[in-house]
Structure 1
Amino acid sequence: MSARLRVVAIADADSFVKWSASLLSGVDGIRRHLLIVSTPLTVSREQERTALAGTGFTDAEVTRLSFDEVRGWLAGHQPDAVVLAGRGAFVRLIGGQIDRLERRPVVVGGLPGMSIPAQRGALEYRRHCDLVVLHSHRERRAFAELGTRIGVDVPLGLATLPYARSSLVERAAPASFVEREARGETLSRSQTRPDSRVLAQRMTVRTEERAETLRPPATDLVFASQAMVPVERHERAAIAEILVRAAEANPRRRVVVKLRSRRGEAETHLERDAYADLFASRPANLVFSYQPMVVALERAEGLVTVSSTAAIEALAAGVPVIALDTFGVRKSLLNTVFIGSGLLGSGEEVVRRQFRHPHPGWMWENYFHPASESGWWSDVEKLIAQRRAGTLAPRPVPQPRAGALHAAWHRKSVLGSTDRSLAGAVALAVGTPLVRGILSRRRAATDTWSETGTDYTLEPAPHVDSLRR
């Protein structure tokens, strides 16, 4: 396409702002923009600066606006494609506004980090998208299997996880594969999978190069906190205790608790027991940090998490990881993705700082495929061409099953206090108990959350995480 395409990301919460801006920053030659929509989850100005660090987005490329202003803005600017970056209900609500446009852009959905297990709601809420972007071969396979189970057919595109973009990804691709692909040769799956010995050698080189160039010395133990994992207070308190012990074991080296929000700020998921409140006392070398993860990793000797996507960001930067398995390995902890990675470790190993790099055989399936395999943007360009030719079949947002009351509840549940309509207030009061009952029945129907042989789930998440705050 000769003309520069105009692509707009629409987001609200911190992780989705970071993901969508980072995703678009990897596409050359486009006119990009970011709309931040006002909801109870919307990033603060400080969170916005942190989320956009390293993306190259300027103030002129970011617009904050209310939900009711979205359709008018899109009608006036007529983007070629939009990236809907928010939780499922937000994506569906914005999708309904896009359906009302006279000139409908290509609609791209996606998830902001590791998405194993593939969850039913994640796909159901994005079934109207022309393309859903995922970040690993394993994720694509899981969501394809999930779609077959629930009867949802959505095109799935593969992207490099934006935070994992580094020379490590390209180093992981054997040169012979890249050269043969460039010549247009058809390769089998076994041929396209990078050789494990090559991966190991190139990861070692990358780590050694990083150690030589880092200033100041990389001595921090960085803990990537998560709002929902683990969810129980006693489990989160146990992690706090492990971090205190790690700090006391090495008084000259910092333990950095990397937090996502300050008091009064929202996150994508509701955090009920914030780590900042779980330390009755802490050593002087245990500190809290709100800086961008990319900055925190510059001084990181290693990273610790339960299942944060920060693990992939760290590995891409050559920083070894411990994926904490103190509470087990199961879908509800979102850490089954690390099975076979060699990254799982105990609290005692955290205290001893026994960080590790992943087994090379795990990498190709899980986020470290060669960038040349990430064809999501090529998929978008083809969709735009189809739309211009009038051959792209419409994928409208499904109408609410319970009519206007259901639609009002949906809007109110996403927009919270910014929706001041009487219909929204009534729908919320009537609909919330009904929705809780429906979710409870669905959880009791089957139990794919406890299955060990699949990478997807069919029921709602075990723990309720309301959009409202």
Structure 2
Amino acid sequence: MSLVPTWSRAAGGSPAVLAIADSAPRAHLSAKMLGDLPDSGGAMGLAVLRSADTPSPARIRAALEGTRHAGRRIPLLTVGQVRRLIRRRRPDAVLLNCSGPHVEALSWSSRSFLRRYRPVVASSLPVPALPASEGEWMHRSRVDLVVAHSHREVDEYTTLGEKLGLRGRVGLASLFPERGERSGPGARKRIVFAARPGQPAGALGCEALLSTLSELATDRPDLEVVLHVGEEGHPELMGVRQSMVESGRVSQVSPVVESGPLHEQFERARGLAALGSLPVLAAVAAQVPALVLTDFGVGWDQGNTVFEGSGLFGDLKDLRACRFHKPNDSWGEQNHFHSTSDDDWVAHLYELCARATGGLL
């Protein structure tokens, strides 16, 4: 495979942007952000960083479905190969959609190549990124443009950056298209719990969750109760489940265990429950009523602080009673569901590129 991403400089001198991701979800985000650029069919490139957690080519391909990079072969590059690629191609901007340590390593080298060449360095925050974290900011201390995905994140990270004395700007980029009415025929009788690795933590938490799902499936045979373990699986949860099956505390066949892309569950879903984070945001974007469980805590580790004030918080009793909700409109406008016309990250990026060309960065 070529080490050079699909690349061409767009007509009219539009800035050339190289995006580097280190996971399948971040590759999807990078492709979406490249698609937001004017003349996006031209001045862009996308590569995935090779590391201990490099996603498989199949997962990368699946993540890029529905974007302009669908079907393209995306190169896997080491840190050294990324640095050499930037030296050789000299993009106007480098978009680092990676974990904090990878952003820190690559942003340092991207700003230290050559005296006469200095690309603009941008980086997206993790999703969700609240409460604002000094650690996330410090990993991006040498980044020119930090990209947030909600008005609330922009406000909190701007305030924190000023407090820390950091010079980077904070821009806004949408995660989801603007929501319309939910479409698709057919009965919606599926109750989905979206499990993610490490959540809930510990055997007791897993047992409480699995017992609730099993009881719901027994009490409501008219519903299809699904335990969705994602594309990565959930070894701890499945290990606890197997022990409970062997001891006769839960059924082998209910709840149904499924994997694969979460969005495939939405068409038939009556409601989705999770501890927080992206599954709930994805459900809200798809107009699926949701429930954010608070039995296992509220905080950064659970990824559910962002849902404070949304009207989505509840507990296992609510799950068993199928009490799902849609979020408050005012919460949505401040947290990931703003109008796409509010996005300003591209304007910030192009202004910074112009300043870099003039030697003003």
- Structure 1: distance between partners of 2:298 and 2:106: 35
Unaligned 5+ residue runs, structure 2? 1-10, 246-250
Aligned counterpart in structure 2 of residue 70 of structure 1, from 82, 86, 99: 82
Q: Which residue does the alignment assign to 2:192? A: 222
Letter in 2 for 1:381: Y
Q: Which residue does the alignment assign to 2:221? A: 251
Aligned counterpart in structure 2 of residue 371 of structure 1, from 340, 352, 356: 340
Letter in 2 for 1:277: G
Q: Which residue does the alignment assign to 2:26? A: 16
Aligned counterpart in structure 2 of residue 47 of structure 1, from 59, 74, 77: 59
Q: Displacement of 1:216 after TM fit?
A: 4.8
Q: Displacement of 1:356 after TM fit?
A: 0.6
Q: Deviations over 1:287-312 (max 9, x none)?
A: 33332233232222221111122212
- Structure 1: distance between partners of 2:268 and 2:39: 33
Query: In 1, are the aligned partners of 2:195 and 2:229 still within 8 Å (CA)?
Result: yes
Aligned counterpart in structure 2 of residue 138 of structure 1, from 138, 152, 160: 152
Aligned counterpart in structure 1 of residue 105 of structure 2, from 93, 103, 107: 93
Letter in 2 for 1:375: D
Letter in 2 for 1:93: A
- Structure 2: distance between partners of 1:13 and 1:135: 18
* 2:208 paired with 1:241: no
- Structure 2: distance between partners of 1:19 and 1:278: 33
Q: Displacement of 1:382 after TM fit?
A: 0.9
* 2:287 paired with 1:293: no
- Structure 2: distance between partners of 1:276 and 1:104: 49
Q: Deviations over 1:232-265 (max 9, x none)?
A: 33223322332223333333433333334447xx
Partner of 2:53, secondary structure, is: coil
**Structure 2 CA distance for partners of 1:57 and 1:217, relative to 1, 3 Å:** farther
- Structure 2: distance between partners of 1:257 and 1:33: 37
Q: Displacement of 1:117 after TM fit?
A: 1.1
Query: In 1, are the aligned partners of 2:49 and 2:76 still within 8 Å (CA)?
Result: yes
Query: In 1, are the aligned partners of 2:272 and 2:289 still within 8 Å (CA)?
Result: yes
Alignment of 1:38-437 (within 5 A): 38-60=50-72, 62-102=74-114, 103-161=117-175, 164-166=176-178, 168=179, 206=180, 209-210=181-182, 213-262=183-232, 274-280=236-242, 281=245, 282-391=251-360, 393=361
Q: Displacement of 1:59 after TM fit?
A: 4.1
Aligned counterpart in structure 2 of residue 2 of structure 1, from 7, 12, 16: 12
The structure showing larger relative contact order (alpha-carbon pairs under 8 Å, at least 6 residues apart) is 1
- Structure 1: distance between partners of 2:111 and 2:145: 16
Q: Deviations over 1:30-78 (max 9, x none)?
A: 2332211111111122322332232231343621122221122222333
- Structure 2: distance between partners of 1:81 and 1:35: 14
Q: Displacement of 1:93 after TM fit?
A: 1.4
Q: Displacement of 1:110 after TM fit?
A: 1.2
Query: In 2, are the aligned partners of 1:225 and 1:308 still within 8 Å (CA)?
Result: no
**Structure 2 CA distance for partners of 1:293 and 1:34, relative to 1, 3 Å:** farther
Letter in 2 for 1:87: S
**Structure 2 CA distance for partners of 1:104 and 1:257, relative to 1, 3 Å:** farther
- Structure 2: distance between partners of 1:2 and 1:217: 51
Q: Displacement of 1:28 after TM fit?
A: 4.3
Letter in 1 for 2:237: Y
Task: Return the structure number with greater helix share.
Answer: 1
Q: Displacement of 1:86 after TM fit?
A: 1.4
Q: Deviations over 1:74-115 (max 9, x none)?
A: 223332222111111111112233234333321111123111
Q: Deviations over 1:333-385 (max 9, x none)?
A: 33222221110111122122221101222222111221111111111111111
**Structure 2 CA distance for partners of 1:383 and 1:343, relative to 1, 3 Å:** same
- Structure 2: distance between partners of 1:289 and 1:111: 29
Q: Displacement of 1:127 after TM fit?
A: 1.0
**Structure 2 CA distance for partners of 1:244 and 1:105, relative to 1, 3 Å:** farther
Unaligned 5+ residue runs, structure 1? 169-205, 264-270, 394-469
State the superposition RMSD in angstroms. Answer: 2.4
Partner of 2:13, secondary structure, is: coil
Query: In 2, are the aligned partners of 1:255 and 1:287 still within 8 Å (CA)?
Result: yes
Q: Which residue does the alignment assign to 1:397? A: none
Letter in 1 for 2:59: Q
**Structure 2 CA distance for partners of 1:259 and 1:136, relative to 1, 3 Å:** same
Query: In 2, are the aligned partners of 1:53 and 1:292 still within 8 Å (CA)?
Result: no
- Structure 2: distance between partners of 1:63 and 1:148: 37
- Structure 2: distance between partners of 1:278 and 1:381: 51
How many percent of aligned residue pairs carry the same amino acid? 30
